[in-house]
């Protein structure tokens, strides 16, 4: 325990040092030479005038002749930075830079961080729409629920480039991918299992949707107050929709109560909500405990409770369910196939493509490593029907 | 003439080919390694959380720990793309990318193009303010007059990072630099000469301001309708201000009439407005004919008219007065010295710093080459008093 703590402090210190040394992590570079006046005449005036004139007449040529075809904006208002809360745009910047770096490393996408000095949904929508002409896609990031639902929905509808809130859908896709393979390990089918989903925020809501779309029929979503059911007093519209998704959720109950007899627990909620006994009350349990950095239950405890497959969001345990398995390939595909939106079908195909990379999943290996070279190609191809 | 035309077509063709080959000119890259999970823990989660937490408490640390300290946004609404007119944001993108490339090449600044899907001044102002937290400065570009004046003024006042509309001030600074040295060539002083400025748009207005601030006392600004004087019928507020700057401009007159006896002609207007005879009517003429690509008078004709010093905006004649001499160093200095604005004093110091790089100016060499290695250092240092 002390060792873990000192390792954590060490990582923080080394990360701070690295950020200070490089002054952040991202740089802009030229893809064309600029050594003399002749080069200048091609990359800038007067030559560039021909490119502008062409695009003025054929707007869609911007994808071929400018960086638009390979660039996405990673947009945040800093309202839900990692698990740290509402830290504002400046504090969100290092996270968005990091995200851009992953886009580059894994999918060779030129992503750029845009952090916004507003948390008003209408202003966020307006601003993203106004800066959109220079980008081939928009990755929304670390925007708090429930604002994120409306912001994403509106932008998807009002822009003709793909828009995805990764905290919702990246998470949902990787969980579906992991679940498909975990179910193989225990030899069950998604339509037959009882799934308990703890957490009804941005990620939880998207996970509920994708699980139902992928064939889940028996789902309970639980928040701090217990099972979300349609008749629950003072329920928000978003949670009411969740209740209607999980058709069997007609009654109240605590997390402990509903976990009894369940097959799958998916947590995107808070540390240490689940006990060894709760796991023991389940049926060949699959435990996805994704609260970060401290999961809903530590893997060793879940194992003692009889869990058959355990996954977390952490890199220091087997089966890390990380969005980074998803978003690079999703946007690579969206850009390559010139998609105007990322549909639910595409997300499910992406999840299946990730799962398929592990033909014989085992308890300790349900998803590929994020550095797996096959990953981006498989996911991006799955985006094209 | 035929040769020039075919060269022009060739440049356009080669520029189109280059843009298509690279899909634009700009890429994003990582400054930190990302090869394995250990790297990931430092550049992204969990390590980056420490950086976010630090900045959440000390906002100003974003300049040290993120790319903000070295990045600027190159913002355009596409309303005045090069000399081509109102082509819209997509068509402006290749120009903005080119500009970013120059920022990188000359000043190692990470500049990123932001092209806006609006030409409403209030929306432009609002959008730039909302995306500002991620940037250390804002370079406005190719925004048409008179909207550009209000947009720049408001953003300068309402943001705490430096904002500069380069079409105005980059041009003004390089012209002042050139003029200081051209006057040395003919052994005159700026306070003694009569200057005729043709063009009252974005560049012309800024040039008039900087010339007066630098000591010019006898200035006439001329537009399509002739000399701009305070009592001229139907004069816009912006032009009325120009008239009041040039104190001697109390009477009407054509360009031809006012050029007689003048010492300096500065044109940021239209091709072929000036004849050999008009140059001949001047006094040891200094001719800056900067209309692009075809100047107000071709250098060989100006020479026949007796011009002592001739400059253009073109790279195929001596004395190219190019903004690229100015903006990289100005923003380098603004970022290095953490300036909150770019003042008139700084602009004049920048012009003097550029002029000083040519200690003994001659008719054919009044400013340094834009690839001159001393340039950015000299200009950026001049920004600090």
Whether the CB of B25 is below 8 Å from some CB of chain A: the reply is yes
State whether residue A139 is helix, strand or coil.
strand
pLDDT interval class at A249 (50, 70, 90):
low
Nearest to B24 among A19, A65, A100 (CB): A65
What are the beta bridge partners of residue B365? B362
Set of chain A residues whose Cβ sits within 8 Å of the Cβ of B54: 16
Q: Give the SS3 label for residue A88.
A: coil
Tell me: pLDDT of B292 over 60: yes
Q: Which of A31, A88, A94 sits opposite B51 (nearest CB)?
A: A94
Residue B44 among the catalytic residues: yes
The number of C-beta contacts closer than 8 angstroms across A and B is: 361
Residue A292 has pLDDT above 90, yes or no: no
Q: Tell me how close the Cα of A104 comes to any Cα of chain B, in angstroms.
A: 7
Mean pLDDT, residues B135-156: 97
Is B9 an 8 Å CB contact of chain A? no
Residue B111 has pLDDT above 90, yes or no: yes
- Full-model pTM: 0.96
Is the CB of B11 less than 8 angstroms away from the CB of A46? yes
State the nearest Cα–Cα gap between A30 and chain B, in angstroms: 5
pLDDT of B249 > 90? The answer is no
Tell me whether A1 touches chain B (CB under 8 Å).
no
Q: What is the pLDDT of residue A179?
A: 98
Which pLDDT belongs to residue A372?
96
How large is the average pLDDT for residues A248-260? 86
Contact (CB<8Å) B26/A110: yes
Residues of A in Cβ contact (< 8 Å) with B161: none
The pLDDT of residue A89 is above 90? yes
CB-nearest to A66 from B46, B93, B105 is: B93
Distance in Å from the first CA to the final CA of chain B: 48
**A 138-177 near B (Cβ less than 8 A):** none
pLDDT at A247: 67
Tell me which residue in A11, A52, A111 faces B87 most closely, judged by beta carbons. A52
Pick the residue from chain A with its C-alpha nearest to B72: A28
Asked if residue A217 lies in contact with residue A249, where contact means CB atoms within 8 angstroms, the answer is no
Which are the contacts of A271, defined by CB distance < 8 A and separation ≥ 6? A291, A294, A295, A296
* Residue B6 confidence (pLDDT): 84
**ipTM of the prediction:** 0.95
Instruction: Measure A64 CA to nearest chain B CA, in Å.
Output: 5
pLDDT of A2 > 60? The answer is: no
CA distance A17 to A174: 31
Summary mean pLDDT of chain B:
95
Question: Nearest 5°: phi and psi at B94?
Answer: -60, -35
Question: How many angstroms separate the Cα of B19 from the Cα of each of A28, A68, B126, B364?
Answer: 17, 12, 32, 34
Provide mean pLDDT across the span B232-253.
83
Q: Does B1 touch chain A (CB under 8 A)?
A: no
Output the average pLDDT for chain A: 95
The stretch B49-62 carries a mean pLDDT of: 97
Q: Give the minimum alpha-carbon distance from B24 to chain A in angstroms, rounded to a whole number.
A: 4
- Residue-wise pLDDT for A198-215, tens only, equals 999 999 999 999 999 999
Residue B301 to residue A367: CA distance in whole angstroms:
74
Q: What is the pLDDT of residues B209-222, one digit of tens each?
A: 999 999 999 999 99
């Amino acid at each position: 325990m002390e060792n873990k703590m000192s390792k954590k402090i060490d990582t923080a210190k080394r990360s701070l040092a690295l950020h200070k040394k490089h002054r952040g992590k991202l740089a802009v570079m030229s893809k064309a030479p600029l050594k003399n006046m002749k080069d200048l005449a091609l990359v800038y005036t007067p030559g560039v005038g021909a490119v502008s004139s062409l695009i003025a007449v054929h707007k869609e040529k911007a994808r071929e002749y400018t960086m638009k075809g390979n660039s996405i904006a990673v947009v945040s208002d800093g309202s839900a930075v990692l698990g740290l809360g509402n830290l504002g745009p400046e504090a969100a910047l290092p996270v968005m830079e990091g995200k851009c770096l992953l886009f580059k490393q894994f999918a060779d996408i030129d992503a750029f961080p845009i952090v916004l000095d507003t948390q008003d949904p209408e202003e966020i929508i307006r601003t993203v729409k106004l800066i959109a002409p220079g980008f081939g896609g928009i990755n929304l990031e670390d925007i708090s629920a429930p604002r994120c639902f409306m912001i994403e929905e509106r932008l998807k509808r009002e822009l003709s480039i793909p828009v995805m809130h990764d905290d919702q859908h990246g998470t949902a896709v990787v969980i579906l991918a992991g679940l498909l393979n975990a179910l193989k390990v225990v030899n069950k089918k998604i339509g037959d299992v009882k799934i308990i989903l703890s957490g009804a925020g941005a990620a939880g809501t998207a996970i509920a949707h994708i699980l139902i779309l992928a064939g889940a029929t028996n789902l309970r979503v639980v928040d701090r107050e217990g099972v979300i059911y349609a008749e629950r007093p003072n329920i928000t519209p978003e949670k009411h929709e969740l209740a209607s998704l999980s058709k069997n959720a007609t009654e109240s109950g605590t997390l402990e109560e509903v976990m009894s007899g369940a097959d799958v627990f998916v947590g995107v909620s808070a540390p240490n909500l689940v006990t060894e006994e709760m796991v023991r009350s389940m049926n060949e349990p699959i435990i996805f405990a994704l609260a970060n950095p401290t999961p809903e239950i530590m893997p060793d405890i879940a194992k003692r409770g009889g869990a058959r497959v355990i996954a977390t969001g952490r890199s220091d345990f087997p089966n890390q369910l990380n969005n980074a398995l998803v978003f690079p390939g999703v946007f690579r595909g969206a850009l390559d196939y010139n998609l105007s939106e990322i549909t639910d079908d595409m997300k499910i195909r992406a999840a299946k493509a990730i799962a398929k990379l592990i033909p014989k999943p085992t308890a300790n290996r349900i998803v590929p490593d994020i550095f797996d070279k096959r990953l981006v190609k498989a996911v991006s191809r799955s985006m094209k029907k």
